[in-house]
Amino acid sequence: MPDERSETQAQLLGHPRWASACPKPTASVHLSDALCGTELDTVSDTPDNPYIHFVQVASMSRVFAYCRVSTESQTTDNQAREIQAAGFAIQPKRIIAESISGSVAASERPGFSKLADRMEQGDVLVVTKLDRLGRNAMDVRSTVEALAANGIKVHCLALGGVDLTSAAGRMTMQVLAAVAEFERDLLIERTHSGITRAKAEGKTFGRPSALTTDQQAQATLRLSQGASVSQLARDYGTSRQTIMRLREKTAA
């Protein structure tokens, strides 16, 4: 099957205005090479300027969308509409929808893994939110870096559509990672503070004891009198491990 990008490049390189200034199309020449160093923001948008048509076509990469929901009862339709409303024209076959928990790493999601294998250098991936790309800040960063290494751009609508593989996108990712780490540390600090306060109030943690306070006292007395662990376990309707833990607690 012919490469649609190579065909487009070959057609564009035949234009008389710039055919002599750009390399002739070969199998190793990419669209980015055909720009010959021309900056996109320096091309004047005038009706008789052939460069503008070239830039418009050359900048049209394959665009994919990844939409994820946590349960089968939810739908990804709103995400697809949000992406299209943002100006991304995406073919239905390139919209990948998946129902899987957000706690699953991106690399372990079947739909996302197939999408990553399908995309090539120069393609664009669009998501509505960062959590579509991973279960936490570190996973999102790892996913973006892996895509960027393959020459794939990643746009997140929740961040204003910024390309996460660009300098601005990487800076945004670093800020978000720092905020996520701060929130995690703050949560741990609050949890420890709550545990300390609860212990000071006399609250106990863990599974309730199988024996009441009176039963523990009786079992401890009988142990000191020589009763066997198995016999006490049968008498109190509990396991041998419970009686053995009581014996160890008493000995300590």
Q: What does the DSSP assignment read for 139-156?
A: HHHHHHHHHHHTT-EEEE
pLDDT of residue 33: 36
pLDDT of residue 4: 44
pLDDT of residue 131: 84
Question: 3-class SS at 63?
Answer: strand
Give domain status of residue 222, yes or no: yes
pLDDT of residue 174: 84
Give domain status of residue 195, yes or no: no
CA torsion, points 41, 42, 48, 51, in degrees to nearest 10?
Answer: -80
pLDDT of residue 96: 93
Q: Is the separation of the CB atoms in 143 and 134 below 8 Å?
A: yes
> Do 51 and 71 fall within a single domain?
no
> Do 89 and 166 fall within a single domain?
yes
Amino acid at the residue 197: R
* Residues that are catalytic: 70
Six token digits for residue 60? 């049209």
> Do 167 and 76 fall within a single domain?
yes
> Do 37 and 133 fall within a single domain?
no
pLDDT of residue 153: 94
Give domain status of residue 19, yes or no: yes
pLDDT of residue 39: 36
> Do 168 and 222 fall within a single domain?
no
> Do 81 and 157 fall within a single domain?
yes
Q: How far is CA 84 from the centre of its chain?
A: 21
> Do 39 and 21 fall within a single domain?
yes
Per-residue pLDDT of the chain (252 residues; tens, 9 = 90+): 445 444 434 433 444 433 444 444 433 333 333 333 333 333 344 444 433 333 343 346 899 999 999 888 889 999 999 998 988 889 999 999 999 998 898 989 999 999 999 999 999 999 999 888 988 888 888 899 999 999 999 999 988 888 999 999 888 888 887 887 788 888 899 998 888 888 888 887 777 778 888 888 888 888 888 889 898 889 888 888 988 888 888 876
Give domain status of residue 100, yes or no: yes
Residue 96 exposed, middle or buried by CB count within 10 Å (0-12, 13-18, 19+): middle
> Do 67 and 171 fall within a single domain?
yes
Give domain status of residue 121, yes or no: yes
Question: What range does the domain containing 21 cover?
Answer: 4-58
Six token digits for residue 50? 């052939």
Give domain status of residue 180, yes or no: no
Residue where one domain finishes, among candidates 15, 39, 58: 58
Domain at 134, CATH number: 3.40.50.1390
DSSP per-residue string spanning 121-134 = TT-EEEESSGGGG-
> Do 171 and 68 fall within a single domain?
yes
Residue 9 exposed, middle or buried by CB count within 10 Å (0-12, 13-18, 19+): buried
Residue where one domain finishes, among candidates 175, 200, 221: 175
Give domain status of residue 202, yes or no: no
Question: 3-class SS at 9?
Answer: helix
Question: To which H or E segment does residue 86 belong?
Answer: none
Q: How many domains does the chain have?
A: 3
Give domain status of residue 241, yes or no: yes
Six token digits for residue 3? 């490469």
pLDDT of residue 56: 42
- Please give the Cα distance from 125 to 152 (Å, whole number): 7
Six token digits for residue 51? 């460069």
> Do 96 and 166 fall within a single domain?
yes
pLDDT of residue 252: 66
> Do 74 and 154 fall within a single domain?
yes
> Do 31 and 113 fall within a single domain?
no
